[in-house]
Amino acid sequence: MILPPSKGRFAPSPSGPLHFGSLVCALASYADIKSKRGKWLVRIEDIDPPREVKGASRQILLQLESHGLRWDDSVVYQSNRLSLYSEIINDLQNKGAIYFCDCNRARLRELNGVYDKFCKTRQLISEGNATRLIINSDLDYISFNDAIFGWQEQNLTTNVGDFIIRRRDGLISYQLAVIVDDNAQGITDILRGSDLLGSTHRQIFLQRMLGFPQPNYTHLPIATSKNNLKLSKQNLASELPAGRESENLWLALKWLKQNPPQDLKVLSAEEIVGWAVANWNPTTIPPKTIQRAPEGFYDTPCK
């Protein structure tokens, strides 16, 4: 049997420039897939317009280039693929796998995150309502092996219930968009932050519903600031300092427990990235959900 070529990806939202946490994800996914002689793709996840910052996509791509992280194939923008998501939802509707829901926030709050199928038999229309995916109780146990966190299992019926794949305002859920795009791009290896570990089961359920192959999963600790908050624009993550690319990369490798030698620091970004690929070892990364970013990469208010 000939296996398809390995493909990894980095999929940032254009909500601001790269910070230390996003550099770590980009570098780790690059080193991981290149150590398997695979392709590294970039996808801009721009389907949440209110969170987008003008010019951020371009800035992210320039930052990746200046850090020696060169992508294969052309960059994909999720906003160009909205018709693909609609097609998939139509498919699911034809299979009787979804229904529409008008439950308000107060009602959902009382359910504590596990939906009770209240709207399943109500025959609501799609317009103005959320779209929920039906979890069949004979397919609701999902397990997978994460390369860092190990064996993961979840019963979707008791943990989430029928979950939303399209919001009432028409916004496509992360769960649906990510598996459709990863499948369309032929992604075999997903490496991302541990904040998505607990939603992976829902994505695997969707992959099975749609007959998509299941990629390999690796979840990394999330880089946090002093108060243990995920680095993000809202939590005062600093933009990666320009002109200090080699140091940024060296610190990212140290944070990833790759044990980079001191004298690597003086090399070019491309040379450091080459070292990261040649020496990549994900087994040294601790299975921790969070890990503090180095001093200087947070607590600087951004614009």
Q: Which is nearer to Zn ion, 117 or 257 (CB)?
A: 117
Which is closer to Zn ion, CB of 55 or CB of 128?
128
Phi then psi for residue 281, to 5 deg, are -145, 95
**Tokens describing residue 129:** 């309502």
Region binding Zn ion by CB under 5 A among candidate stretches 13-21, 84-92, 103-111, 138-146: 103-111
Nearer to Zn ion, 168 or 233 (CB): 168
- In angstroms, the CA 212 to CA 103 distance is 30
Distance of CA 53 to the CA centre of its chain: 19
Shortest Cβ 174–Zn ion spacing (Å): 20
Is the CB of 118 or the CB of 141 nearer to Zn ion? Answer: 118
DSSP conformation letters of 268-281? -HHHHHHHHHHT--
The distance of Cα 73 from the centroid of its chain, to the nearest Å, equals 19
Segment near Zn ion (CB under 5 A); pick from 28-36, 63-71, 95-103, 135-143 = 95-103
Q: Give whichever of 89 and 197 is closer to Zn ion, judged by the CB atom.
A: 89
Q: Which of 246, 226, 244 is nearest to 235 (CA)?
A: 226
Nearest approach in angstroms of CB 126 to Zn ion is 13
Tell me if 30 sits within 8 A of 273, measured CB to CB.
yes
Nearer to Zn ion, 96 or 150 (CB): 96
**Binding region for Zn ion (CB under 5 A) out of 74-82, 85-93, 118-126, 254-262:** 118-126
Binding span for Zn ion by CB under 5 A among 21-29, 67-75, 113-121, 174-182: 113-121
Nearest-5° Cα angle at 141, 137 to 147 = 160
What is the token pair recorded at 127? 């317009």
Q: Do 180 and 81 touch, CB atoms closer than 8 A?
A: yes
Interface segment toward Zn ion; rule CB under 5 A; list 58-66, 101-109, 139-147, 231-239: 101-109
Where helices occur in 114-222 by DSSP H, the ranges are 156-159, 174-184, 200-210
Identity of the amino acid at 80: N
- Rounded to a whole number of angstroms, the minimum distance from the CB of residue 104 to Zn ion is 9
Could you tell me the end-to-end alpha-carbon distance of the chain, in angstroms, rounded to an integer?
Answer: 52
SS3 43: strand
The span from the CA of 138 to the CA of 294, in Å, is: 46
The piece of 1-9, 15-23, 102-110, 224-232 that touches Zn ion (CB under 5 A) is 102-110
Beta strands 150-155 and 222-224 are unpaired
Q: How far is the CB of 130 from Zn ion (least distance, A)?
A: 7
Binding Zn ion by CB under 5 A: which of 103, 156, 160, 165?
Answer: 103
Instruction: Provide, rounded to whole angstroms, the least separation between the CB of residue 48 and Zn ion.
Output: 23
Pick from 18, 69, 92, 101 the residue near Zn ion by CB under 5 A: 101
Least Å from the CB of residue 206 to Zn ion: 20
Query: Considering CB under 5 A, how many residues would be counted as binding Zn ion?
Result: 4
Binding mask 119-158 for Zn ion (x = CB under 5 A): x---------------------------------------
Where do contacts with Zn ion occur on this chain (CB under 5 A)?
101, 103, 118-119
